Structure 1
């Protein structure tokens, strides 16, 4: 059995950035800060999120800096070679399959819905 599921609730560190491709696909990226429950003095953990298609469109429209969101997705490690040093680099990225907009009722009313998943509305 294989299991790769990540669930997080945090605040967006910036507005979601969308990129449209000639194929019609949409990719959206955003970083979120997640506070640790153990201490209020700890710095938050930052996670890079990647969303595609309908979920990406919703994120691009409604995820703004400071937005409280919940996500479910899978973890993957993105690797590349640094252009300046030639050193190998990597970072964890969460591929989001479900996005929940967790802001105030007013924020959710403006969105019209509060839960989005790849392939579903």
Structure 2
């Protein structure tokens, strides 16, 4: 069986951080993910996907992302249900994020430009207790920038 979801989109609102009675952090947010095709009027549509993330990654998402932030989510789909105040059963489908990637520098979508991002550039949580550390640091260091100079690559360096 396989239940895997990979999304890239923008947050539709600021993340909501809460804590369970046992003190475990949980953050909910919604990603707007553009569809790959246009409708009959030629407009691009988006899907609005509810996501939840737990523990330290939940705190990171709440601290470093905000409405409009570009993020990548890797996780699984989960469905659950509960009885509301009127006694009706409510079904919820959401993505449980195991890894959330921060895909742009802090402040990039608010017009602040290419600011160096000192916070975590990504965070993951496969076992909800072991945090993976991936690359962090400045987004300004582009290893593929050639500054207008020719790149010297021999045929022996190419993998094909």
TM-score range, shorter chain: 0.7 to 0.9
Greater strand content? 1
C-alpha contact (below 8 Å) 1:62/1:111 kept by paired residues: no
User: Hey, what's the Cα distance between the residues in 2 that align with 1:30 and 1:105?
Assistant: 17
The structure having more radius of gyration, on CA atoms, is 2
TM-score where L is the length of structure 1: 0.86
| Residues 111 and 37 of structure 1, relative CA distance in 2, 3 Å threshold | farther
Q: Report which structure shows greater RCO (CA 8 Å, sep ≥6).
A: 1
TM-score where L is the length of structure 2: 0.67
Superposed counterparts of 1:37-116, under 5 Å: 37-39=36-38, 41-84=43-86, 86-104=87-105, 109-116=116-123
Q: What are structure 1's unaligned runs of at least 5 residues?
A: none
Task: Name the Cα RMSD after superposition.
Answer: 2.0
**What is the Cα deviation at residue 110 of structure 1?**
3.0
State the Cα deviation string for residues 65-119 of structure 1 (Å, max 9, x = none).
00000000010112122323x3322121110000100124765833423110012
C-alpha contact (below 8 Å) 2:12/2:67 kept by paired residues: yes
State the Cα deviation string for residues 22-70 of structure 1 (Å, max 9, x = none).
4331101101111101126143101111101121011010110000000
User: Hey, what's the Cα distance between the residues in 2 that align with 1:6 and 1:98?
Assistant: 11
Instruction: Give the number of equivalent residue pairs.
Output: 119
User: Hey, what's the Cα distance between the residues in 1 that align with 2:106 and 2:67?
Assistant: 17
Greater helix content? 1
